[in-house]
Amino acid sequence: MIKIAVVMDPIEKINPVKDSSFAMMLEAQRRGYEIHYITANHLYCKHGTAYAKSQAIEVHDSTTQWFKLAPENHIPLNQFQLILMRKDPPFDMEYIMDTYILEQAMSATTHVINKPQALRDANEKFFTETFPECTPENLISRDPSLLKEAVMTLGDAIVKPMDGMGGDSIFKTHKKDKNLNVILETVTQNGTKTTMIQKFIPAISQGDKRILMINGKPVPYALARIPSAEDFRGNLAKGGTGQGLALSESDYKICEIVGPKLKAMGIVFAGIDVIGEYLTEVNVTSPTCIRELDKLYNLNIAGELFDCIEQDIL
């Protein structure tokens, strides 16, 4: 029997209808895995060995009572064949410490997905710089004068913090915006936080496409997150609506460029974001949209993921 641990945010706070970690747990249970649930604050290291306060878990595809936990135990992480790191950002020093503990657990018989080193190396905003042929014009800096100069050059632009998720603290601005200075002061925290200026892509009105990648290969359908009438952001957490789409020729070209790098780094499960013909983010920490795409297209994306893991990794 495969023994698996899922490191995630508190399970009692998830939306089981939409949560991708929960989809993975349901599939693991269907396959007869022994599943353990761990929150990041329960990871620890003792004299060179990585441990966790863990609880065996039983999951149910329900919106009311979707989990049942066994009593808590202290378990060396090297007792698991597979550990899924599914904690949401913020990507801060505590997150990095978590990756150090998980890396300490890795061995020929204990696999962590995605690899801790890859999680540290592939900042979800900055990692797009690896693929400049796919990305819109941008500038990354903490210097407000440089960022302002980029907005003057680009015209309509997006201002993004480098460590956010779900559309938090993202602004749309332009070179004549009298709020530009205060936007840059706010997002950079007065020149102390690295920030991205990215050219605004009008095709966002047709949706910000989330494409899921398994071991460098795309799922053939994307979830286009379409902004509401009151917002420019497509994020579902900000009122966007999801619409399924088959991947376009342009989408596949981007996947062919990004996929080999993901695979080489040990990023087995990722979600890339595409607006129009541009790659805008590469999500590696806890990509979502499994449940939505499964429902729309009668897929089993978690099943495809575990097929890959069983064949190529375990």
Q: Would you call 292 a catalytic residue per the annotation? A: no
CA distance 161 to 156: 17
Does this model's pTM top 0.75? yes
Peptide bond into 90 cis (omega under 30): yes
| List 273, 292, 294, 304, catalytic entry | 273
| List 86, 115, 160, 209, catalytic entry | 160
Q: Would you call 225 a catalytic residue per the annotation? A: yes
Predicted pLDDT of residue 234: 64
Residues 211 and 251 sit within 8 Å (Cβ to Cβ)? yes
| List 86, 87, 115, 225, catalytic entry | 225
Q: Would you call 273 a catalytic residue per the annotation? A: yes
Predicted pLDDT of residue 232: 77
Pairing mode, if any, of strands 111-113 and 82-85? parallel
Domains of the chain: 3-117 (3.40.50.20), 137-200 (3.30.1490.20), 203-305 (3.30.470.20)
Q: Would you call 133 a catalytic residue per the annotation? A: no
Predicted pLDDT of residue 238: 62
Predicted pLDDT of residue 167: 64
| List 86, 87, 115, 125, catalytic entry | 125
Q: Would you call 125 a catalytic residue per the annotation? A: yes
Q: Would you call 233 a catalytic residue per the annotation? A: yes
Show the 3-state SS of the chain.
CCEEEEECCCHHHCCCCCCHHHHHHHHHHHCCCEEEEECHHHEEEECCEEEEEEEEEEECCCCCCCEEEEEEEEEEHHHCCEEEECCCCCCCHHHHHHHHHHHHHCCCCCEEECCHHHHHHCCCCHHHHHCHHHCCCEEEECCHHHHHHHHHHHCCEEEEECCCCCCCCCEEECCCCCCHHHHHHHHHCCCCCCEEEEECCHHHHHCEEEEEEECCEECCEEEEEECCCCCCCCCHHHCCEEEEEECCHHHHHHHHHHHHHHHHHCCCEEEEEEECCEEEEEECCCCCCHHHHHHHHCCCHHHHHHHHHHHHCC
| List 27, 124, 208, 281, catalytic entry | 281
Query: 233 φ, ψ to 5°?
Result: -90, 135
Pairing mode, if any, of strands 34-38 and 221-226? unpaired
- Residue-wise pLDDT for 253-272, tens only, equals 999 999 999 999 999 999 99
Q: Would you call 253 a catalytic residue per the annotation? A: no
Predicted pLDDT of residue 89: 87
- Nearest CA among 100, 24, 15 for reference residue 268: 24
Retrieve residue 147's tokens: 């960022």
**Residue stretches of the chain with pLDDT short of 50:** none
The residue type of 221 is Y
Predicted pLDDT of residue 96: 96
| List 208, 210, 215, 292, catalytic entry | 210
| List 86, 199, 209, 233, catalytic entry | 233
Residues 142 and 184 sit within 8 Å (Cβ to Cβ)? no
Predicted pLDDT of residue 195: 96
Q: Would you call 190 a catalytic residue per the annotation? A: no
